[in-house]
Chain A
């Protein structure tokens, strides 16, 4: 079974966010990690490989630094990787990234494509679903369980207030939700092995783009949130404070 995992490098979720002089998000001093949701996708791919055999290929669109995220996936046990260098695409939107990934993926054999349901940086939840569309394969978003039998996958997908079970013919793409599995930590042996695994780096021209694809969205204008003017502490013993809180919620906040 050939499995592709699409991963993205993101800021660590603890990262402080600041804007640089150009008004863009600054990556100064930020720890970069593999998108936490993509780890669920990697883990699921490795479990499938353990069960059915085959090969797991990591595909990533990113600059030089993204190698580290790819190495993490390789250290967990993925076999090889393709990085498409998009460092020249300053304001690549989800459309552009999906088109780029689709070109890279379509050069590889695959039965299953996996990715995280969301990236914790831009939080857009678009690229993986767009990738499935660009590849012309079905997709199931936000899965909590995946079972494969022959050429049929049965996936449990989270929906608002419940779950649904979806049956789909392979090849198909799945996006991983927390709860799908517990991602393994790379072992020391895995980390050593990962250093020797192949990461093929490709430019846009290498995967067949004559010209740089144009974004469909404007370059974002970034801002930082104004901090909430919180901190109204309600004094008194439990009974008094609770009475006062209920009164404030009704009369001042009009929330009850």
Chain B
């Protein structure tokens, strides 16, 4: 009998990744509603040091597979180890963030387990017949599909910032289960030679609470500095539209939209962005959208919660000063 909700946790330099904590928080609510247990799964060297944090966000049980072969993520080793753990533990659902790792791992794991999977979900609810149902944007957010799985476990990758993070409770304790990682030799065919992580004081784009983005209206690469100053006043990430990336003003990795990153921040400030459907596909699920554009007819105003028609070169620096006053 498949039972329990498993959350595969991802880690970074500062601890458990935000999206994983959001999933623990949501998982806790579902566990309480359904009477299921919530299980956090942590792989890699030193996994145990994250167990308390996982417990504080709601895990009833923490499965640790402390193995140096899992210290750096590789598709094969993670698939191998998780496939065995899942077959042994028989969870009802396995959830992971729709991150670079989640997008790569979950489909491979689903195929090995011979089960279905819901990708890039922006909604998850309990379902009487199927246990969980998932809502996911398709056609760049121009439609939604609601799906459930016919078998167990149900696998799903959830878009970062879909669910709020709960308050940690340091008094919560979890059962700890140390498991040996069983990894087939065949799954060690890919080797990570080098990891290049850009050092930035700003949050990672897909996980940021606030994003300030610049488009064609930025007029040149030198002008991104005014967005960066504004971003730093409120701890935001900087993004861009395709027009700005294609013009060579800013690196591709900052692009938000259909051919760039999909983001879902609390606040998205679009500066000099007209609002092409391809851009909206990447940020349409933002909770609050602000548009600053000198063209009053720009598409972006139709969906912006707040809009200012005007010159971004005048407005953004003023806004930076206002933000500094607010956050002082």
Q: Which residues of A contact B (CB under 8 A)?
A: 11, 13-17, 19, 25, 36-37, 93-95, 98, 120-127, 129-130, 132-134, 136, 138-142, 154, 157-169, 172, 178-179, 215-218, 220-225, 227-228, 230-234, 238-239, 241-243, 245-246, 248-250, 253, 255-256
A213, chain B: closest CB distance, angstroms: 11
Q: Which residues of A contact B150 (CB under 8 A)?
A: 215-218
- Taking a contact as CB atoms closer than 8 A, the residue among B100, B138, B266, B290 that contacts A159 in the complex is B100
- Taking a contact as CB atoms closer than 8 A, the residue among A162, A168, A242 that contacts B198 in the complex is A162
A-B interface, 3 closest residue pairs, ranked by CB to CB distance from nearest: A216-B116, A246-B322, A162-B197
Q: Which residues of A contact B281 (CB under 8 A)?
A: 13
Are A256 and B147 within 8 A (Cβ)? no
Tell me the complex Cα distance, A158–B100, Å.
7
Are A256 and B119 within 8 A (Cβ)? no
Q: Which residues of B contact A (CB under 8 A)?
A: 74-76, 79, 99-101, 103-104, 106-108, 110-112, 114-120, 130, 136-151, 186, 189-198, 200, 204-207, 210, 234, 252-253, 255, 258-260, 266-267, 277-278, 281, 284, 287-290, 301-311, 314-315, 318-319, 322-323, 325-327
Q: Which residues of A contact B144 (CB under 8 A)?
A: 222-225
Are A160 and B112 within 8 A (Cβ)? no
Are A230 and B304 within 8 A (Cβ)? yes
Q: Which one of A14, A19, A172, A220 has the highest number of Cβ atoms from chain B below 10 Å of its Cβ? A: A220
Are B118 and A256 within 8 A (Cβ)? no
Are B322 and A161 within 8 A (Cβ)? no
Q: Which residues of A contact B120 (CB under 8 A)?
A: 123-125
Tell me the complex Cα distance, A8–B236, Å.
37
B14, chain A: closest CB distance, angstroms: 12
- Taking a contact as CB atoms closer than 8 A, the residue among A25, A130, A157, A242 that contacts B143 in the complex is A25
Are B306 and A122 within 8 A (Cβ)? no
Are B196 and A231 within 8 A (Cβ)? no
Are B76 and A138 within 8 A (Cβ)? yes
A242, chain B: closest CB distance, angstroms: 4
Are A231 and B302 within 8 A (Cβ)? yes
- Taking a contact as CB atoms closer than 8 A, the residue among B101, B112, B319 that contacts A242 in the complex is B319
B202, chain A: closest CB distance, angstroms: 10
Are A255 and B111 within 8 A (Cβ)? no
Jot down 11 A-B pairs with beta carbons below 8 A, ordered by A: A13-B258, A15-B139, A17-B142, A133-B107, A162-B195, A166-B190, A167-B190, A222-B146, A223-B146, A230-B307, A241-B315
A152, chain B: closest CB distance, angstroms: 10
Are B116 and A95 within 8 A (Cβ)? yes
Q: Which residues of B contact A250 (CB under 8 A)?
A: 326
- Taking a contact as CB atoms closer than 8 A, the residue among A222, A230, A246 that contacts B326 in the complex is A246
Q: Which residues of B contact A140 (CB under 8 A)?
A: 75, 190
Q: Which residues of A contact B141 (CB under 8 A)?
A: 225
DSSP class of B's interface residues: helix, strand, loop or mixed? mixed
Q: Which residues of B contact A134 (CB under 8 A)?
A: 111
Are B318 and A238 within 8 A (Cβ)? yes
Q: Which residues of B contact A178 (CB under 8 A)?
A: 252, 255, 259-260
Are B99 and A14 within 8 A (Cβ)? no
- From known contacts A126-B117, A138-B190, infer whether A121 and B138 are also in contact, taking CB-CB under 8 Å: yes
Tell me the complex Cα distance, A223–B288, Å.
22
Q: Which residues of B contact A122 (CB under 8 A)?
A: 138, 145
Are A233 and B301 within 8 A (Cβ)? yes
Q: Across the interface, name the chain B residue whose C-beta is closest to A153.
A: B190
Q: Across the interface, name the chain B residue whose C-beta is closest to A25.
A: B143
Are A255 and B267 within 8 A (Cβ)? yes
Tell me the complex Cα distance, A13–B192, Å.
34
- Taking a contact as CB atoms closer than 8 A, the residue among B145, B255, B304, B314 that contacts A221 in the complex is B145
Are A256 and B143 within 8 A (Cβ)? no
Tell me the complex Cα distance, A233–B292, Å.
10
Are A217 and B277 within 8 A (Cβ)? no
- From known contacts A166-B191, A242-B315, infer whether A220 and B147 are also in contact, taking CB-CB under 8 Å: yes
Q: Which residues of A contact B145 (CB under 8 A)?
A: 122, 220-222
Q: Which residues of B contact A248 (CB under 8 A)?
A: 306
- Taking a contact as CB atoms closer than 8 A, the residue among B116, B260, B287, B290 that contacts A215 in the complex is B116
Q: Across the interface, name the chain B residue whose C-beta is closest to A221.
A: B146
Given contacts A13-B140, A160-B206, A245-B290, 15 further A-B contacts (CB under 8 A): A25-B138, A124-B119, A129-B111, A139-B104, A139-B108, A161-B200, A162-B195, A215-B150, A216-B115, A217-B118, A222-B145, A231-B302, A233-B308, A245-B322, A255-B288
- Taking a contact as CB atoms closer than 8 A, the residue among A142, A216, A234 that contacts B100 in the complex is A142
- From known contacts A162-B195, A165-B194, infer whether A120 and B104 are also in contact, taking CB-CB under 8 Å: no
Tell me the complex Cα distance, A11–B79, Å.
32
- Taking a contact as CB atoms closer than 8 A, the residue among B75, B118, B139, B306 that contacts A249 in the complex is B306
